[in-house]
Amino acid sequence: MTKQEDQFKKVLSHAKEYGYVFQSSEIYDGLSAVYDYAQNGVELKKNIRDYWWKAMVQMHENIVGIDASILMHPTTWKASGHVDAFNDPLIDNKASKKRYRADVLIEDYCAKIEGKINKEVDKAAKRFGDTFNKEEFLATNGRVVGYQEKINTILARMGASLEKEDLVDVKALIEELEIADPLTGSRNWTDVKQFNLMFGTKLGASAETAMDLYLRPETAQGIFVNFLNVQKTGRMKIPFGIAQTGKAFRNEIVARQFIFRMREFEQMEMQFFVKPGTQKKWYDQWKETRLKWHLSLGMGAENYRFHDHDKLAHYADAAADIEFKFPFGFKELEGIHSRTDFDLKAHEEFSGKKLQYFDHEENKSYTPYVVETSIGLDRMFLAVFSNSLQEEALENGTTRTVLKLPAILAPYKAAIFPLVKKDGLPEVARKIMDDLKWYFNVFYDEKDAVGKRYRRQDAAGTPFCITVDHETLEDNSVTIRHRDTMEQKRVKITELKELIQSEVAVKNWLQRM
Ligand code: ATP
Q: What pLDDT, in 10s, does the model give residues 145-199?
A: 999 999 999 999 998 998 888 999 999 999 999 999 998 999 999 999 999 999 9
Residue from 254, 267, 337 to probe ligand 1 pocket by mutation (most atoms less than 8 Å from CB): 267
pLDDT digits (tens, 9 = 90+) for 85-97: 888 899 999 999 9
Q: What is the mean predicted confidence (pLDDT) over 18-39? A: 95
Residues 23, 24, 26, 30: is their CA dihedral positive or negative?
negative
Using pLDDT thresholds of 50, 70 and 90, give the confidence band for residue 254. Answer: confident
Q: What is the pLDDT of residues 366-417, one digit of tens each?
A: 999 999 999 999 999 999 999 999 999 988 889 999 999 999 999 999 999 9
Residue 208's pLDDT band (cuts 50, 70, 90): confident
Q: For the chain, what percent of residues have pLDDT higher than 70?
A: 100
Averaged pLDDT for residues 41-65: 98
HSE at residue 49, side-chain half, CA atoms within 13 A, is 18
Surface-to-core class of residue 285, CB atoms within 10 Å of its CB (0-12 exposed, 13-18 middle, 19+ buried)? middle
Residue 26 Cα to ligand 1 midpoint, Å, equals: 25
> For position 1, what pLDDT does the model report?
66
First vs last Cα of the chain: how many Å apart?
38
Q: Which of 286, 313, 292 minimizes the C-alpha distance to 304?
A: 292
Which of 221, 243, 198, 249 lies closest to 347 in space, CA to CA? 221
Q: Which residue's C-alpha comes closest to atom 13 of ligand 1?
A: 374
Which H/E stretch holds residue 268?
A: strand 264-274
Measured in angstroms, how far is the CA atom of residue 372 from the centroid of ligand 1?
A: 13
What's the rounded mean pLDDT across residues 267-282? 97
Which residue CA neighbors atom 30 of ligand 1 most closely? Answer: 376
Residue to mutate (ligand 1; options 48, 379, 380, 385; most atoms within 8 A of CB): 379
Top pLDDT among 492 and 207 is at 492
- The rounded distance, in Å, linking the Cα atoms of 114 and 484 is 33
CA distance 512 to 395: 32
Compute the distance between CA of residue 486 and CA of residue 199 in angstroms, rounded to an integer: 48
Q: What share of the chain in percent tops pLDDT 90?
A: 87
Q: How far is the CA of 142 from the centre of ligand 1 (A)?
A: 36
Residue 141 dihedral angles phi and psi, to the nearest 5°: -70, 120
- 270 Cα–ligand 1 center, Å: 14
pLDDT computed for residue 204 by the predictor: 86
Which of 374, 377, 380, 384 is the pocket-test mutation for ligand 1 (most atoms within 8 Å of CB)?
374
- CA 215 to CA 212: how far, in whole Å? 10
Cβ 507 vs Cβ 51: under 8 Å: no
Each residue of 294-318: pLDDT tens digit?
999 999 999 999 999 877 777 788 9
Distance 324 CA to ligand 1 centre (A): 13
Please give the pLDDT value at position 5: 82
β pairing state of 414-418 and 464-468: parallel
Specify the ligand 1 atom closest to the Cα of 331. 3
Distance 251 CA to ligand 1 centre (A): 12
| H/E run at residue 376 | strand 369-376
DSSP 218: -
Q: Are 459 and 402 in contact (CB under 8 A)?
A: yes
Looking at residue 207, what is its pLDDT?
75
| Average pLDDT, rounded, for the chain | 94
Task: Output the residue whose Cα is nearest ligand 1's atom 29.
Answer: 261
CA of 55 to the centre of ligand 1 (A): 21
User: Exposed, middle or buried by CB within 10 Å (0-12, 13-18, 19+), for 482?
Assistant: middle
Q: What is the pTM of this model?
A: 0.88
Q: How far is the CA of 82 from the centre of ligand 1 (A)?
A: 14
| Protein residues whose CB sits closer than 6 Å to any atom of ligand 1 | 218, 250, 252, 261-262, 265, 267, 332-335, 374-376, 378-379
